[in-house]
């Protein structure tokens, strides 16, 4: 039985020394063809042994692979997250080829070293 999820959900992945929790994703800007060029991610870092850490992002779009790393995105500004404090991070594609249609279902993974967290939107569940 397949079921579509209309809203996003987050998945914190507990790993030492910590993990990320993506609370929400909002697309800010689209180009003339409707591809996403900028987004804001509300994210929280949980970790006992690290007070601040950078974060990187990748969008996974079902059925599409630009390269083995999927769609790589980065913070628009230098960003560090403090343990336990939610923060809004504006992200942009690493290269323009990593932009994708704003109507696409996706999984967003936040990561740094072995720490990660994920957020899925409109993915079909089996």
Determine contact, residues 44/20, Cβ cutoff 8 Å.
Answer: yes
HSE of 8 in the Cβ direction (CA atoms, 13 Å)? 20
Domain interval for residue 46? 3-125
**Counted domains in the chain:** 1
Question: Is the distance from CB of 119 to CB of 108 less than 8 angstroms?
Answer: yes
* CATH for 15: 2.60.40
Q: For 73-120, write each residue's pLDDT tens digit.
A: 999 998 878 889 999 999 999 999 999 999 999 999 999 888 899 999
- Answer whether 20's CB lies under 8 Å from 45's CB: yes
pTM greater than 0.85 (yes/no): no
Q: Is residue 96 classed as helix, strand or coil in its secondary structure?
A: helix
């Amino acid at each position: 039985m397949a079921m579509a999820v209309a809203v996003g959900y987050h998945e914190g992945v507990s790993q030492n020394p910590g993990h990320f929790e993506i609370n929400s994703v909002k697309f800010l800007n689209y180009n003339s063809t409707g591809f996403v060029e900028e987004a804001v991610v509300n994210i929280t870092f949980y970790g006992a042994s690290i007070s601040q850490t950078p974060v990187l992002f990748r969008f996974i779009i079902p059925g599409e692979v630009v390269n083995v790393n999927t769609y790589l995105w980065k913070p628009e500004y230098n960003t560090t997250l403090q343990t336990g404090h939610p923060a809004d991070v504006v992200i942009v594609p690493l290269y323009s080829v990593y932009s994708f249609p704003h109507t696409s279902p996706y999984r967003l993974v936040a990561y740094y070293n072995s720490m990660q967290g994920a957020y899925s939107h409109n993915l079909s569940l089996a």
